Amino acid sequence: MTTQSTSLAEVLGNGALAITAYAVLGVLLLVAGFHVIDMAIPGRLSRLIREERNANATALTASGLVAVGLIVAASIWSSGGALREGLLATLVFGLVGIAVQTIAMIVLPRIIGIPVRSLVGEAALQPATVLLSATHIVIGLITAVAVV
């Protein structure tokens, strides 16, 4: 019976490769999530956030990205160390999470009667934005736990 040892350099190299691959995929999913959120929220988010400094658009976007981040992190956590399978699972679950988040961002305000269009038209942070933002994070958390 022979035991094969792995050098420290191999372990570090493989670990660095995995970290880099997951980080790149995570950033790509966050960028995709931002663009999907941009389509779901009335107005151009980059303009609303950067130029108009709209607190409501910022909170809704931030909560959506936190939710995507939770889903991506849970996907990585559940991958079990298998890099290819883990990256594929992270991609699939990340995209599903973005889809679920988008549906929630469109449907939930209608169900509870909070018009997002009027929220992002307000200059000051609105209580309804806080409620919707918390809901986005909770939906992301529920989806993340389902992944694990």
Residue extents of the structural domains in the chain: 8-147
Q: Which pTM value belongs to this model? A: 0.84
pLDDT 10s digit of each residue in the chain, 148 long?
556 777 878 777 778 888 899 999 999 999 999 999 898 888 898 899 999 999 999 999 999 999 989 988 998 888 776 888 889 988 998 898 889 888 888 898 889 999 888 898 898 999 999 999 999 999 999 989 998 8
CA distance 58 to 64: 10
